[in-house]
Amino acid sequence: ATATQPAAEPAPDARTPRERLVDWMADDRKLTQREIEVALLIATGRSKAVIAKKLFVSENTVRTHAKNAYAKLGVHSKQQLMDVLEAHMA
């Protein structure tokens, strides 16, 4: 008689919490790369003016990306955005 092999353990996720968060935003919530960048910068407290300068776009473009990101994430405020992102980094 042969011994049965125990079930293999799932491979540990080598991604960082930030990488898992970005993958969730892109794959599950369908945010574009720019919407992800803007959402993460907003969540770290950057103003739309600072984000616009950093990304070399207008403040209106930042507002558009932020609006789209908020809609796709189902949030309505910066605090809700931070709460959702924090929950998915855990």
Angle (CA) 59 65 70, round 5°: 120
**28 has a pLDDT exceeding 80:** yes
**What average pLDDT score do residues 12-38 get?**
94
pLDDT tier for residue 1 given thresholds of 50, 70 and 90:
low
3-state SS, residue 49 = helix
Is residue 42 within 8 Å of residue 57, measured between CB atoms? no
Please say whether the beta carbons of 36 and 69 come within 8 A.
yes
In angstroms, how far is the first alpha carbon of the chain from the final one? Answer: 45
Residue 4 has pLDDT above 70, yes or no: no
- pTM for this prediction: 0.84
| Encoded amino acid at 63, one letter | R
The predicted-structure confidence for 33-61, as pLDDT tens digits, reads as follows 999 999 999 999 999 999 999 999 999 99
In the prediction, which pLDDT does 89 show?
Answer: 84
Contact 75, 88 (CB under 8 A): no
